[in-house]
Amino acid sequence: MDYLSGISETLSRLVEMTEHDEPYRLKKTLIETIQQIIGELKIDMFEVIYSNGGYIQRNCLEPDQSFAPERRAAIIDACKHHGIQQFAGDLSHGRYAIPIRLDTVTTEVLVVEGGELMVAEREVEAIANISRLYQNYITMLHRYEHDALTGLMNRHSFERQVNVLHQVQAYSYYLAMVDIDHFKRVNDTYGHLFGDDVLILIAKKLKEFFGAAHYRHLFRFGGEEFVVLLEGDDASSYDSLDQFRMLIEETDFPGVGQVTFSAGIAPINPEVPIVVSIDRADQALYEAKRAGRNRVLMSAPVLVEDEAIQEGDLTLF
């Protein structure tokens, strides 16, 4: 009976872990689950971002935390070798780095430290198995949340992200609707394979320009339309997107040549239904198209007293 109770408790913890899909809560629950099942070990989780041929690491739960060189080295070794790494020179067998992969790339690393206590081999194996369960779960989430062609977040993810920003009273965010100019002409002239290549390259440029740390704010909304969530004020949001517009204008798209886009930006006002900001950005996009395309326009402020659009007049999808 005690054996069954132990199995039931373990399964209960694992079920609790898979009840979350918000990244921070999911990572926090993973660490708590391991500590509750294995014992009071010190466990940190590091996000790994590849940039300019190197590795940028940060603590997933405490981004500003600094850490020792030997810990950094163990994390890099785990990324390079895709396997559990013992800290260099650690004769106590008390510190390990366990990689977590998304498809073929290590994206996170668990660092397990026993302190003065030895971490037994069976405990390391158990932690590795739990991390693989987490790995399988985030892989399924990733496929559910991302657009298969471009790798950007998809429309479902956009709906959730903007609702979160709205609920936490985020006043410094802007919503940009981006639409490729004359995209139908690209498909009709060069074929859909070249059209897909245009979408893929623009998505790649979006990720490079805005940075890996902001990838959860980049979306393929559908067809040739993208959405970018920008943090800042009117001027910085406009300047950032217009700089990206100029970058795309100067890019040579293989087999196609020059491609441009038009965009509309609207502020997100937490006191006004989010569909109002979406509509305002879409209206600004329409005006950018009417004004000649290949430009970015900022909408008027979204105000509480604005009665041009009433809640319920619009639907998100």
- Closest Cα partner for 28 from 125, 132, 105, 134? 134
Q: What are phi and psi of 78, to 5 degrees?
A: -65, -35
Task: Centre a 10 Å sphere on the Cβ of residue 240 and count the other Cβ atoms it contains.
Answer: 20
In b/e form, how buried is each residue of 241-264, taking b as 16+ CB within 10 angstroms? Answer: beebbeebeeeebeeeeebebbbb
Task: Centre a 10 Å sphere on the Cβ of residue 291 and count the other Cβ atoms it contains.
Answer: 11
CB 55 within 8 A of CB 92: no
Does 307 participate in catalysis according to the annotation?
Answer: no
Angle between helices 192-210 and 183-190 (to 10 degrees): 130
Task: Centre a 10 Å sphere on the Cβ of residue 235 and count the other Cβ atoms it contains.
Answer: 9
In whole angstroms, give the CA distance from residue 224 to residue 221. 8
Instruction: Exactly one of 224, 231, 305, 311 is catalytic; name it.
Output: 224
Structure tokens at 174: 């802007």
CB 33 within 8 A of CB 13: yes
> Parallel, antiparallel, or unpaired for β 54-59 and 85-86?
unpaired
CB 218 within 8 A of CB 152: yes
Q: Which residues are within 8 A (CB) of 279 and not within 5 positions of it... i.e. 6 or more apart?
A: 309, 314
Active-site positions read 224
